[in-house]
Amino acid sequence: MSKLKEKLAGGLFLLTACLSITAVILICLFLLAGGLPAIQEIGWGDFLLGTVWRPANNLFGNLPMIIGSLYVTAGALLLGVPLGLLTAVFMAYFCPPRLYRPLKALINLMVGIPSVVYGFFGLVVLVPLVRDFCGGRGFGVLTASLLLGVMILPTIIGVAESAIRAVPGSYYEGGLALGASPERSVFFAVLPAAKSGILAGVLLGVGRAVGETMAVKMIAGNQPVIPQSLTDGVRTLTTNIVLEMGYAADLHRQALFGSAVVLFVFILLLNISLSVYKRRELK
């Protein structure tokens, strides 16, 4: 009876894995079928490196949106990674037991907050602050980066804390035994051993930042131009698709599918890079 249960469980796991892989393949085929014809018609160079997005004139340069996505994501990581990692270290090693449970609950609560609520917070709080202290209209790269940096915090904190706790306690105790302070033991013994899991958390944070749409749409300015400063308006690949897909048709609609292909390839390259890095670390 137990062997039958094991076989049934194995078959169920295999079925779910096959369904997941099939779903990913179908999504890939859907995007490629919708986007590649437009990219080929427009031209790879004009589509990827063109600086003008003007659908009315059949100009579909994606470079402003690509650079905008990179700027906003990089800014979010500059804020979210250090703050998230330090918070994870505090939660794993230095947080008092009485404080841990409410802090953990608050971090978990941040995951469930809808994107539109974050966007409203950015619109009401961050936009005026950036306008008053940094100039400009308040809608731009800096505001979007700050908000995304906050939004990726729970992802980075959760994964990084799990990775840190997975490191054997002997690493920390060995550092203390050698005369290192608790802080040095964590940062020079525990964190290097947990870097693979921490990188996985950072990658998930990147995916959240790159794929975020509604919050960025509300505070980024949505200008399809290459930003020259942190206070300039910016349009990302995701917001470009959302803003124009409702009325796009023919080549314009296919070009938006092409933007989705670019976004998909970007995320795919990030995952491949992490996989290659993990394999090198295992060797």
- Where do the domains of the chain lie? 62-237
CATH (one of 1.10.10.10, 3.40.50.300, 3.30.70.380, 1.10.3720.10) for 62-237? 1.10.3720.10
Q: What is the pLDDT of residue 147?
A: 93
pTM over 0.75: yes
Cα–Cα distance, 36 to 43 (Å, whole number): 10
Q: Which residues contact 44 (CB under 8 A, 6 or more apart)?
A: none
Q: In terms of DSSP bridges, do strands 59-60 and 53-54 run parallel, antiparallel, or are they unpaired?
A: antiparallel
On the question of pLDDT at 2 being above 80, the answer is: no
Q: What is the pLDDT of residue 162?
A: 92
Task: Give percent above pLDDT 90 in the chain.
Answer: 28
On the question of pLDDT at 57 being above 90, the answer is: no
What does the mean pLDDT of the chain come to?
87
The answer to whether residues 87 and 80 touch, using CB atoms and an 8 Å cutoff, is no
Q: Which residues contact 119 (CB under 8 A, 6 or more apart)?
A: 147, 214, 215, 216, 217, 218, 219
Strand partners, 60: 53
pLDDT band at residue 88 using 50, 70 and 90 as cut-offs:
very high
Q: Give, to the nearest 10 degrees, the angle between helix 195-211 and helix 237-245.
A: 30
